[in-house]
Each structure stands twice: as C-alpha cells, then as structure tokens.
A and B are shown apart, each in its own frame.
Chain A
Amino acid sequence: MTEVERHTYDVVVVGAGGAGLRAAIEAREQGMRTAIICKSLFGKAHTVMAEGGIAASMGNVNSDDNWQTHFRDTMRGGKFLNHWRMAELHAQEAPDRVWELETWGALFDRTKDGRISQRNFGGHEYPRLAHVGDRTGLELIRTLQQKVVSLQQEDFKEYGDHEARIKVFQEYTVTRVLKGHSVRGEDRVSGVFGYQRESGRFFTIEAPAVVLATGGIGKSFKVTSNSWEYTGDGHALALLAGATLVNMEFVQFHPTGMVWPPSVKGILVTESVRGDGGVLRNSEGKRFMFDYIPDVFRAQYAETEAEGDRWYSDQANNRRPPELLPRDEVARAINSEVKAGRGTPHGGVYLDVSTRLPAEEIRRRLPSMHHQFKELADVDITAEPMEVGPTCHYVMGGVEVDPDTAAASVPGLYAAGEVAGGMHGSNRLGGNSLSDLLVFGRRAGLHASLYAAALAERPELDEEQISAAAEEALNPFEGTGGDGPSENPYTVHQELQQTMNDLVGIIRREAEVAEALQRLVGLRERAERAVVEGHRQFNPGWHLALDLRNMLLVSECVARAALERTESRGGHTREDHPQMDSAWRKVNLICSLAEKGGADGSDGQIALVRKDNPPIRADLLALFETSELKKYLTDGELPSATIPEQRTDADADVDADVPDGAEQ
C-alpha cells in the first residue's frame, strides 16, 4: 500500500486566502477541529496582492450609502446575471465583516472623524472601498492570519497545544476530494488527498466537510495578474468530485495591467489610480473613455471632462468620469483604441496621474504603484504616465453553490471566494471580491460546521480511491501516459497559455473558440505524456505536471461555455454576437464532468447544459426604475404594474426578511 500520512479533522478548508481563513475561523469558533491546507506558505495566498480595497456600504464618507445601493451597483456591474440572493447577502453583510476585522487588529485608513475611510471605485455609486493605501489585501490576509494565531494561543492556554483545534498544513497540495457513502448509499465527501511540496509525500485528511477556497484560474492565460497558485485547482477538484461549475465563460480582463517590460507584462495597476483621479489617454492625448459610454450607463456618467473632474470634489451635483465604468467596458475600450492604431509604443494606452495630483499625494495614496513602476519599469509615476493594457484578472464563473449555505451539489462540499460562482454575474466590481471572501467564507465555514456536527456517522475513506489518487500523482515520473514522445510540462503549459490568450481571450469569435477546443484535446493528450526529472522533494516540474490536469479541465469549461453563449455580456465578448440579449440573461451555463468519450461524441471531458437563472425577488427588482430594468430583462420578467415603481428603503428592509431559501 502507498505510504500516506493520515489525519482526521471535522472540517477541512482547502485554501488560506481571505475566503479560506475566514471559513476556518468560523469553523473553529463553531467548535470544529479545523484543518487549513495551502499550496504556499501561510500568509502568502493570492489575497495578499489585492490593492484597492474592500467594498462595504458603511456610509462613512457619504452617509447616503446603504446595502440597497451596493446591491444595485453589484447587479448593474454583473449585468443582472448575478445570483440575486448572493448579491443581496453580500451587500447586507459586508459592513459587519469589515468592522469585525478591526476587532481583530486591522488598521484601515481613517476619515477625519476617526472612522474607516472609503474610496471611490469603478461602478460604485458612492465612495465605498475600505482600504489601507494600495495594500488592502495584505492587511486582510495578515489580520486573518493573526486571528488564526490568536485562536491558537487560546488553545495553547487551554490544551497546551497550539494546534489542538486549528492547524495550518502549509505547502500541502490537494489533488483529489475523496468520497464515501452514507447509510442510504448517497455519495458524499469523506476527505481529501494530496502531496506535501517539501517532501513529496502523500497525505490524506479524513473529514466529512470540505470547503474549497482555492481562488482562480488566471495561470491558464498568458497575460495575467495572477500568481502561480491560480491553476484552477478548486474548480477542477469540484468537477472531479461530481459537482458543477456555473458560467465559466465570464473571465475578467482588468483594463490596466503593466505592458512593459515584457517580463512584467500583466502585473496589475490598481484601479485606485483611476479612483483617485488618474485618466486614460491614447497616443493622440485624447481622454477616449468619453467615446465608450454604453447606453445602459449613460445616465450615470459624465459627458464632459469638466463634469468628470468636478465629480471628485462634488459628487452630489456631477456624474462620474467614464474612466470609472465597470472593468469590462474599460478593458474593451482600451483594446479598441490599440487596435485602431492609437496605442502606445508598447501596445497599451497611457494612464496618467502625474498631471492630476501633486507628487507627494501620489506617493501617499499609491505607494505600491509608485514603488512597482520605479523598481520594475524605471517609470516615475509622479512625473510621467504609465503604459497599461488589459490583463486576465479574475474568474466570475465557479462552483455552483447554494447562495445561503455555500454548499455545492455534492453533500459535504462547500465553496467560497473566487472559486465559487454566481455572486458577480458576468462581471465583478472592484472591491467586491474581498468582501465576497469574508461574507461567503464565513457562511461556508458556518454551514460546513453545522453539516459536520449533524452527521450521525462519518463516511470512511476508501482505500481504492487513495491508491488511484497516488497512482495518478506519480504518473509524471513513470511516463505511462500513452503512446508518443514524452513532453516537457513547461512547454505544454506555455502552449496552453498562448491558446487561451489568443483564442478565448478578451474578444472571442466562434471559429477561434472552436479551434481552441480542438487544441485543448491535443494538449490534454500531451499533458498525459508529461515526464518529469528528479525526485519528489520540492520538485516544481512535477507540481506543474499535476496542475496541468486542472488547467486543462477549467480551460475547456471556459471555452465550451464561451462557444455556447451567443451574446456579449460583461466578461464575455463575442465579436460575432456583439449585443447583450435579455433572453440570455435568464440562462446559466452549467459544466460538469462528462462520461468518458462525451455523450455529444466530442473528445471533450466536459458536459455543458443550460439552466434557468432564478427570477429576482420582487422587492429587490423594485429597487430599480422600470426603465432601467427594461435594458436587462425580457418583457415577461418586468415587474407587473401592481408593484410600485420605487419603494422606500424601509419597505425593502421589511421585505428582506423573506425566509431564507425561499427561492432555491
């Protein structure tokens, strides 16, 4: 039998970013023995890179803000494809989740009266993003990390063991979610299997509840702001365990990534640059965003530069500058400008804050950006403009979950954070991820705990699955993956990234996406023949070979869904179907693992079905003007004449108490 290190816990959280840590803290506070697993060191997860802030309608800077407004902005940003219940819970609970961080030691930037300061961001009607300069993610992760440590200190006092009830397995990678059977023969989660990076040894953790909080998929694309961890592991683990993914075609390309020098291409330039006054110009010096305001947003955005500029100091009487449109709009605009030959020498556009704010102020508000450009590109952003262009940033699609409990379709499996789908619809607003991590991380931890505690008997680990998982993981050493020459995993990865970037990138066409699906089949065959050198101890070539399975599965989901959705919406732009189509708003695309050989006769591994997007609850619809709803909904979905057009917030509050799960 394979040598495997074995542990037993009540709840396993895969991922130590914002979502995973918040889930784990909740599970531990619910009395569960909790394990946190992460691929890198504790405190290094991708969340650490978040810059601009965390969205919550605390109303500290503009007291008109409230959850209803945040809800409205989120739905508009997502072009109404969002699961309305997730958007509602998110908007309602975000302020509490932020305030709670202060009680754990977080130090946000302050307003004059000593409260948490909030900044403007694209798509948010009011200044809403709590922040710490441009290193908000670091503050978030450090605060949660230190909260975990404080729980461990409590346990040390009580049990003499820091790790009695919450333990971090750092540099451990999960490759399989394991399943067992209940008495009734129902399939459900029994634990996880994986390897330790340091030694290469295998491990299992037996646990009835597993929370996936593994983040995103950006490493399947060539130009990305994402770290190596973003290989779509959680998405793939969910698929392989029998769960479903929703709306994987929606991938967010952040409008402003670095474009020069080549080795830093894709690194993020925070949206705060624009939130704090930065403007976009083409090579002719024109602020081109005024030409790209789509009809659905025309009422909310300034028509002239003068009005846009006045807005920074007087928001009551002016409309926002179009640089602060949702990200998908800005990214497409930049793409068009460059295509039209009005780009910079290195194929981007100019983002300028140097003529907009005093140098001192830039250094204070945007210290990391100042540092990043100085160190990596020899550009002083207080004196000259930056060159920027779109970069793959975030995946809106993800594991299909119940909005209230974060439960996936497989009993015992939960998902929260970027790996979960639904919340952001077709496009995420800046700042809405960090708040999403906390709101749904907590919910996932809570409901995983309730589920684990209520189980009469825990499913046992199945030795056959463990041996199969071990065999799968060792394949790259054996070179047993079929006929043909052995492959270098790095080469296969580079070709995958090029394929996704070129064929399923920011602008998509039917023939190209179909071509991508073809190539993915070939890449998968080659990935199976990937062979690695050396031994199992901290071997990056081996790790990559194993990650390829996940990236290929996820890439196929993205491509298949992108081919199916014949409209343009948010993070999915089809050049051959440029309009947004209300009929498609009602449709979610659901991916699951296909039976081998695919029922549709294709060589794919993924089956795709359409599923109705549940209708938005009436009192939430009533938060919008009918004239606005008409832009998104089909006639049949519009509120009937008996529902008053606009309600007061007090009414909506009462209605928000509709019993949980009334809709699902």
Chain B
Amino acid sequence: MSYQANFRVWRGDSSGGGLEPYQVEVNEGEVVLDIVHRLQATQAPDLAVRWNCKAGKCGSCSAEVNGRPRLLCMTRMSTLPPDEPVTITPMRTFPVLRDLVTDVSFNYTKAREVPSFVPPQGLKPGEYRMAQEDVNRSQEFRKCIECFLCQNTCHVVRDHEENKPAFSGPRFLMRVAELDMHPLDAAAEEGLDRKRSAQEEHGLGMCNITKCCTEVCPEHIKITDNALIPLKERAVDRKYDPLVWLGSVIKRRK
C-alpha cells in the first residue's frame, strides 16, 4: 500500500526561501508529520519543524498543508489527493524563523495581557463549589491546545501586521470569555469589567464574526458562536445600556 508522493516543502529563514521539491515514500495510515520525519531521516536532516506529542494534544505542529492551516500530526495522507504534490508551508501570520518553524511570541505577549483568574475572597482551597452546567462553557474553551491556528487564520491579523498591537486574536478573546463565564471569578469585585476590557483592550470590535477561526480549530471549539458572539452581545449590552453607561461615566469622572 506504499506509494511515492511528491512534496513541496518551504525551506528558508527570515531572509527568504522557497518551495523545495522532494519525492518520498508514503505508507498506509500515515499523517503528514510522518512524511516530514521521513524527510528528516533520509533526505533533509536539518529540516526544521516543531512537534511534540504526535497525537493532536500539544498544538506544536501547526503549519499550512496545501494552503490550509492544520496540525501536521492530525492530517492523514489519505485525505489529500494522491496524484497531486503536497505543499507544506509555515503559518503565514507569524514571522518565519526557519523552514516550518515560526516565531509565535505574539501569542505569548497577548496571553500576558489578559488579567488572570481572580480567586473569590473568603473561599479557602477545597471550598469551591460549582455546578457542572455552570462550568461546561468555560471548560469548552479550556480544551484549547494553543496551536494558534485560529490566530494564524483570522483575517484581522493575517496579512495585517498593523492590527497586531490592538488585537488579541480569537484565542485570547476566548480566554477573556472563559474567565468571564467562570462561575467563581471575582474580577468584578476587584473593579475589573472583563466584557469591557475585551472591547477596549483586546480589540473585540475588530472581529466581524466571519467564523474562519472556528473552522480551523482542531479541537472543534465553537470560538465564534460560543465565545466571541456572546462576549460581543454582552459588551454591547453594557456599553449601550443607558443605565450602565451612565453609571460608568459617573464612576470614571470620580
């Protein structure tokens, strides 16, 4: 069941590069990452790629296969047309370091900008009580493996370097939603309005709910429907609700 496949792999670094052709054996059941490993072992020992778990759990092996953002370890060869060359390129939204490896530090910077969970006062460790129904939603968002494919895909920053400073991207807007929906998060008590900060600090307004992020998420998290839209609705509620608006204006004047 083995066959020879044609691959084109982007090789290069920050100063430039291009697609290199390779011919390589493919066996039954293999995923694209297997082929990259075979290339390393036989033809291109210094071909740079990130991976860890090879089981879709760590989110390291993100790249683009035939132009589609994917995990290399979860893309089976059998899902690709056998008679056409397979093109592997690095994620486009982040600067290339070498070959398939990109500089994803943008994401770590954005992660730091989201204020952390605020533990409730007066509850000691072991005293937390939460109903399963109330944690389901935040748990869905915590399935995120930080592959950054959604960040890579979102058109707000893909090819728009200038938007990066103001926009946290779907992954980290979803993190705001996750904390906002956490039943015991005490941010509000500390004077932090997570909904407003999503709008004002993390660029929620730039998202126009195209759902491209949801489409590429390997964890099948409904980023747009379950995190971004509800966050938007509530952010809007607050912003335009006259009473809340008045209250916040008064507060700010103090």
Contacts and interface: CB of A to CB of B under 8 A. Distances in A.
Given A227-B53, A376-B74, A488-B45, A139 B142 contact: yes
Given A146-B116, A540-B48, A541-B40, A107 B139 contact: yes
B229 interface: no
Contact of A267 (B54, B99, B115, B139): B54
B188 interface: no
B22 interface: no
A636 to B, nearest CB: 42
A563 B211 CA distance: 59
Interface string A103-114: 111010110011
B182 A537 contact: no
A275 interface: no
B76 A376 contact: yes
Contacts, number: 171
Contacts of B31: 263-264, 376
- Give the secondary structure class of B's interface: loop
Contacts of B234: none
A95 B128 CA distance: 13
Nearest to B42: A490
Contacts of A653: none
B49 A540 contact: yes
Contacts of A491: 41
A198 B14 CA distance: 12
Interface string A590-615: 00000000000000000000000000
A541 B46 contact: yes
A534 B145 CA distance: 32
B97 A198 contact: yes
Nearest to B120: A103
B206 interface: no
Interface string B104-134: 1000100110011101000001101111100
Interface stretch (B55-63, B158-166, B236-244): B55-63
Given A44-B60, A104-B119, A535-B46, 17 more contacts: A40-B52, A48-B52, A96-B125, A103-B128, A105-B182, A114-B129, A115-B128, A149-B116, A227-B58, A372-B55, A490-B45, A532-B45, A537-B13, A539-B45, A539-B48, A540-B40, A540-B48
16 contacts: A43-B146, A95-B126, A96-B125, A110-B130, A146-B116, A146-B117, A153-B112, A153-B115, A198-B101, A261-B29, A261-B30, A264-B29, A264-B31, A375-B76, A541-B40, A542-B46
Interface of A: 40-46, 48-49, 58, 95-96, 99-100, 102-105, 107, 109-110, 113-115, 132-133, 135, 137-139, 142, 146-147, 149-150, 152-153, 156, 162, 198, 227-229, 260-264, 267-268, 368, 371-372, 375-377, 488-491, 494, 532-535, 537-542
Interface of B: 13, 27-31, 34, 40-42, 45-60, 74, 76, 97-99, 101, 104, 108, 111-112, 115-117, 119, 125-126, 128-132, 135, 138-139, 142-146, 179, 182, 185
